[in-house]
Amino acid sequence: MEKSSLAAESLRDSPAYPATQHEITQEAALTQDIVTKIAVLGGTGKEGSGLALRWAAAGYDVTLGSRELEKAQRAAAELNVTLGQGSVRGLTNRAAAAQADIVVMAVPYTAHTATLESIRDVVQGKVFVDVTVPLDMQNVRRVKMPAAGSASIEAQQLLGEGVKVVAAFQNISAEHLKSLNHEIECDVLVCGNDKDAKRQVIELAEAARVQAWDAGPIENAVVVEGMTSVLINLNIKHKVKAAGIRITGIPRP
Q: What is the 3-state secondary structure (H, E, C) of the chain?
A: CECCCHHHHHHHHCCCCCCCCHHHHHHHHHCCCCECEEEEECCCCHHHHHHHHHHHHCCCEEEEEECCHHHHHHHHHHHHHHHCCCCCEEEEHHHHHHCCCEEEECCCHHHHHHHHHHHHHHCCCCEEEECCCCECCCCCCCECCCCCCCHHHHHHHHHCCCCEEEECCCCCCHHHCCCCCCCCCCCEEEEECCHHHHHHHHHHHHHCCCCEEECCCHHHHHHHHHHHHHHHHHHHHHCCCCCCCCCCCCCCC
Question: How many other CB atoms are there within 10 angstroms of residue 187's CB atom?
Answer: 20
Which of these ranges, 3-7, 112-116, 153-157, 244-248, has the smallest mean pLDDT? Answer: 3-7
pLDDT at residue 136 in the model: 76
Exposed/middle/buried for 241, CB within 10 Å: 0-12, 13-18, 19+? exposed
Q: For residue range 119-148, what is the model confidence (pLDDT) as tens digits?
A: 999 999 999 999 999 987 778 777 889 999
In whole angstroms, what is the distance from residue 49 CA to residue 214 CA? Answer: 24
Q: Binning pLDDT at 50, 70 and 90, where does residue 33 land? A: low
Look up the pTM and report it: 0.86
Nearest to 129 by CA among 61, 41, 212: 41
What would the mean pLDDT of 157-162 be, rounded to a whole number? Answer: 98
Q: For domain 6-238, give the CATH superfamily.
A: NAD(P)-binding Rossmann-like Domain (3.40.50.720)
Neighbouring residues of 134: CB distance < 8 A, sequence distance ≥ 6 = 109, 112, 144, 145, 146, 150, 151, 225
Q: For residue range 167-213, what is the model confidence (pLDDT) as tens digits?
A: 999 999 988 899 898 999 999 999 999 999 999 999 999 999 999 99
Question: How many other CB atoms are there within 10 angstroms of residue 250's CB atom?
Answer: 7
* Inter-CA distances, 70 with 38, 65, 85, Å: 19, 10, 19
